[in-house]
């Protein structure tokens, strides 16, 4: 993967309330995914903005944690969905939901659902036409703050 850094941290001023880090989330929202379905096929056609078309080596983003593992007592989270707004979380069934980003952590963390966190990792793009998932933050680490 060819990648470059994108400077978002100076713009990562938290807006307060249930929203988080709009500059980074605007980058995620700018990925266009058009789903094409027929009776026998499915394709997700993705268009990535020029600033991230080759991925991003260092991408900082603040959001809210939805753990995807680590549910057993004493277990830590290794994979999560980071959402931009807990009020309109995409897992709540609302038609106009917040943006979400899958995150693979570099090391497991003690996290709770709904916790606000800033992460730094590599933004890797998913060009696979068989899924609507467009990007994943990998090797992510918590940014102190």
> Are 22 and 108 within 8 A, CB to CB?
no
Give the helix/strand (H/E) hosting 25. Answer: helix 22-29
In which band, very low, low, confident or very high, does the pLDDT at 99 lie, cut at 50, 70 and 90?
confident
Residue for token pair 């609507």: 132
In which band, very low, low, confident or very high, does the pLDDT at 12 lie, cut at 50, 70 and 90?
very low
Per-residue model confidence (pLDDT) at position 106: 98
Taking only the tens place, the pLDDT of each residue in 54-65 is 999 999 999 999
- 29: alpha, beta or left, given left = phi > 0 and alpha = psi -120 to 50? alpha
Taking only the tens place, the pLDDT of each residue in 29-55 is 999 999 999 999 999 999 999 999 999
Residue for token pair 């060819």: 2
Q: Distance between the two ends of the chain, CA-based, in angstroms?
A: 30
Classify domain 9-142 at the CATH topology level. OB fold (Dihydrolipoamide Acetyltransferase, E2P) (2.40.50)
The pLDDT mean for the chain works out to 83
In which band, very low, low, confident or very high, does the pLDDT at 104 lie, cut at 50, 70 and 90?
very high
Instruction: Give the whole-angstrom CA distance, residue 8 versus residue 75.
Output: 32
**Residue 88 corresponds to which tokens in the numbers above?**
């309109």
**Residue 86 corresponds to which tokens in the numbers above?**
């807990």
Sequence ranges of the domains in the chain: 9-142
**Residue 61 corresponds to which tokens in the numbers above?**
């983003």
pLDDT at 6 over 80: no
In which band, very low, low, confident or very high, does the pLDDT at 73 lie, cut at 50, 70 and 90?
confident
Per-residue model confidence (pLDDT) at position 38: 94
Taking only the tens place, the pLDDT of each residue in 124-137 is 999 999 999 999 99
**C-alpha Rg value of the chain to the nearest Å:** 15
């Amino acid at each position: 993967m060819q990648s470059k850094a994108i400077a978002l941290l100076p713009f990562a001023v938290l807006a307060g309330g249930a929203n988080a880090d709009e500059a980074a989330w605007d980058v995620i929202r700018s990925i266009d995914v058009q789903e094409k379905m027929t009776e026998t096929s499915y394709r997700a056609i993705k268009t990535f903005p020029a600033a991230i078309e080759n991925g991003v080596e260092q991408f900082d983003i603040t959001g809210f944690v939805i753990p995807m593992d680590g549910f057993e007592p004493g277990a830590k989270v290794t994979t999560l969905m980071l959402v931009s707004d807990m009020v309109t979380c995409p897992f709540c069934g609302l038609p106009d939901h917040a943006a979400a980003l899958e995150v693979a952590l570099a090391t497991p963390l003690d996290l709770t659902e709904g916790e606000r966190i800033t992460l730094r990792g590599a933004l890797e793009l998913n060009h696979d036409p068989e899924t609507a998932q467009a990007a994943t933050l990998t090797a992510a680490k918590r940014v102190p703050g």
